[in-house]
Amino acid sequence: MMNVLQKIKVLTLCNFKNYVRYPENFGGLVIYIMMIMFIGWYMQLLTGVASEKAFGIPPVLYYASGMFILLLIGNQNTALTAFASWRTDILSKQVSPDIFLLGSYIGGLLTNALPGISLLLFSLIMYPPSMSGYEVLLLISLLVVSFLASIGVSYFFAALGMRLTPTGFVFTSITLLITIFCGVLVPIRAIPGGLQWISYAIPYTWTIDAFRALVLDSTPLMPVEREILLLLPLSLLLIATGRVTLYWMIKRIKEKKVFIR
Amino acid sequence: MITAKNISISYGKHEVIRNLSFNVEKSEIYGIIGPNGAGKTTILRALTGIILPDQGVMSVDGKNVVVHKPKIAVLFEVAMSRTFLRITAEEDLMFYSVLYDVEVDRERIKEILRVVGLHGINKYVYKFSRGMWQRLYFARVLLPDFPVVVLDEPWLGLDVAAQRETIALLKKMKEMQKTIILTAHEMPLIERICDRVMVLDKGKNVVEGDVEELLDRLEWRYEVKISGDNLKNLTNKFKYRGKGRYHYFYVKNLREFIESIDVSTIYEIDVKPLSLEEVYISLLTKK
């Protein structure tokens, strides 16, 4: 167990160190935060008090909280790029794909989530939340099951990374679709009824919704406890099917010789 | 140590390896040469488990590589863009310890860096020269201390100095009792370092053996450039080509040639032994 944890730690630190040593990453982070702030500020200007009625919370917080959660848990692209970059090593060396995925995931969490964490801290300082002990417990449970769901999604993206180049428009499109439908930019209630099922199928939707309800007192789609209970089996299902998909993909690449460098 | 029996591999309908068999002995450096598309890298991919052969069995120490993932340290051509660039060589080897599923041992990593001459260099790997990158690649394959090492094109794009460093590192690996199997196009280097060589063409083993055995397959072994008198009588006995004031003879047995000439009539003589490159060209052009 210690050995496994040490390996995950090494993978995590390599990802983290490699990220923070690029000064341009911090420039991008600042631009990113400013962009989100600008959207929130502009929306508030545009809609005034009405926007709060539409979102249930001030627009700046609406976007900031959504982006924070999406950046924190929507970490699937890390698995995609990691598995695409080291696919030869994963196929030819002894590393367990599970350990590699977890190490890359946590590494990505510490790097990709940095803009989101900064964003949320900024927003919470502006609008300090008041939460009961029970709500804190619910929040912790929510984050745990959300990370599990995210790891499950990452397994699918890792399988894609083994087979395809990560620069294709397919992945940008998938990320864009997730961003649109998970409620970060558009409230779920504002999405046409016929398309809302897409939002409900994305695990991040429930995390973002429950997070806003717990921290910002917005009106959730259903009681937060039910959202967490819904996320738990969904997460486990995603991990199980995602893992099977990744191992199937590795086997298929070997058998069909569809390896790409 | 490494055995391949009747291996056939196809990419779709295109058969790349056809009924190929070979053996590599323990602590041997075994070179696979052949034109582009001959199937050299495919063999290494099958051996390291990246792809599975359609037919035949590959085994390391008697264990089928398909059933038991073999402990092989492997170096395929690496694109610099696909690695962490802002980490040090030591951190890179820690990362590779995880990839090889071996203990992350800082002392061993320092020892390996000392062996390849990268110890104490704290710059990020993106600042490395091509030669330093190559040393880092060798450090990666030495790291897990596996008995078998597979190297795909280890001299690709290296200048002469870096090639010489690589040869020295390969010799060190041989001293460590590693069994090394490599592919390359650089014939003089293959000739210098490999114990045995297989010439592969269109997925078939054209010829296999140590360099001397392969050279023996040539019609002649030496090109003798000579100027002097009374040499015409040799043209019936040895393959001959005249060019200006020099005569060129192509001989298999140098002693026999020397004994055939009257040394007192010779002004100048230069003997050039033929190389693996000539064997390679002759084999492929014959085909």
| pLDDT tens digits, one per residue of A108-147 | 888 877 777 776 777 677 767 778 889 889 989 998 999 9
The residue-averaged pLDDT of A19-37 equals: 76
Probe site for chain B from A2, A8, A24, A92 (most B CB atoms < 10 A): A92
Kindly tell me the sign of the dihedral angle through the C-alpha atoms of A237, A238, A244, A245: positive
Lowest mean pLDDT among A39-43, A72-76, B171-175: A39-43
B17 and B119 housed in the same domain:
yes
Angle at A187 between CA A183 and CA A190, to 5 degrees: 130
Is residue A152 predicted with pLDDT exceeding 80?
yes
Give pLDDT, residue A191.
83
Contacts of A85 in chain B (CB under 8 A): 82-83
Is residue B243 predicted with pLDDT exceeding 70?
no
B122 and B95 housed in the same domain:
yes
Residue ending a domain, choose from B215, B244, B275: B215
Lowest mean pLDDT among A29-43, B117-131, B191-205: A29-43
Residue labelled with tokens 């085994």: B59
Read off the tokens for A31: 């631009």
Is residue A170 predicted with pLDDT exceeding 90?
no
User: What stretches of B176-275 show up as alpha helix (H) in DSSP?
Assistant: 187-193, 211-216, 254-260
Q: A244 to chain B nearest CA, in Å?
A: 19
The span from the CA of B141 to the CA of B154, in Å, is 12
CB of A226 within 8 Å of any CB in chain B? no
Contacts of B104 in chain A (CB under 8 A): 6-7, 10
Give pLDDT, residue B157.
77
Run of H or E including B17: strand B14-24
Run of H or E including B272: strand B266-273
Q: Which domain holds residue B89?
A: 2-215
B266 and B188 housed in the same domain:
no
Mean pLDDT for chain B overall: 87
Is residue B79 predicted with pLDDT exceeding 60?
no
| Longest CA span, chain A | 61
The span from the CA of B91 to the CA of B112, in Å, is 13
B107 and B223 housed in the same domain:
no
Residue A259: beta bridge partners? none
- Residue in A closest to B48 by C-alpha: A92
Query: Distances in Å between the alpha carbon of B6 and those of A259, B17, B22, B147, B148?
Result: 22, 9, 9, 24, 21
Residue ending a domain, choose from B190, B215, B240: B215
Kindly tell me the sign of the dihedral angle through the C-alpha atoms of B162, B165, B170, B176: negative
Q: What is the CATH number of the domain that holds B252?
A: 3.30.70
The residue-averaged pLDDT of A196-208 equals: 90
B210 and B227 housed in the same domain:
no
B130 and B265 housed in the same domain:
no
Domain boundaries, given as residue ranges, for chain A: 2-256
Percent of chain B with pLDDT over 90: 39
Residues with Cβ < 8 Å from A234, sequence gap 6 or more?
A: A149, A203, A206
Contact state of B69 with A94 under an 8 Å Cβ cutoff: yes
The span from the CA of B235 to the CA of A45, in Å, is 100
Q: B51 to chain A nearest CA, in Å?
A: 4
Q: What is the CATH number of the domain that holds B188?
A: 3.40.50.300
Lowest mean pLDDT among A85-99, A122-136, A178-192: A122-136
Would you state the torsion angle of the CA atoms of residues B254, B255, B259, B265, taken in this order, to the nearest 10 degrees? 40
Contact state of B98 with A11 under an 8 Å Cβ cutoff: yes
Is residue A230 predicted with pLDDT exceeding 80?
yes
Contacts of B51 in chain A (CB under 8 A): 253-254, 257, 259
pLDDT in tens, B83-138: 888 999 999 999 999 999 999 999 999 999 998 889 888 899 999 988 888 889 98
Contacts of B76 in chain A (CB under 8 A): 88, 92, 261
B237 and B102 housed in the same domain:
no
What is the tally of structural domains in chain B? 2
B65 and B162 housed in the same domain:
yes
Read off the tokens for A239: 């991990």
Read off the tokens for A207: 């995390």
B119 and B181 housed in the same domain:
yes
User: What stretches of A86-168 show up as alpha helix (H) in DSSP?
Assistant: 87-92, 97-112, 114-126, 133-163
B190 and B132 housed in the same domain:
yes
Lowest mean pLDDT among A72-81, A236-245, B99-108: A72-81
B210 and B229 housed in the same domain:
no
Confidence category of residue A52, pLDDT binned at 50, 70, 90: low
Query: Distances in Å between the alpha carbon of B204 and those of A217, B7, B39, B181, B199?
Result: 71, 10, 8, 17, 8
pLDDT in tens, B30-73: 999 988 888 999 999 999 989 999 999 999 988 999 888 888 99
Query: A61 versus B167: which is more confidently predicted?
Result: B167
Residue ending a domain, choose from B173, B196, B215: B215
Give this prediction's pTM.
0.84
Contact state of B71 with A94 under an 8 Å Cβ cutoff: yes
The residue-averaged pLDDT of A151-163 equals: 92
B185 and B236 housed in the same domain:
no
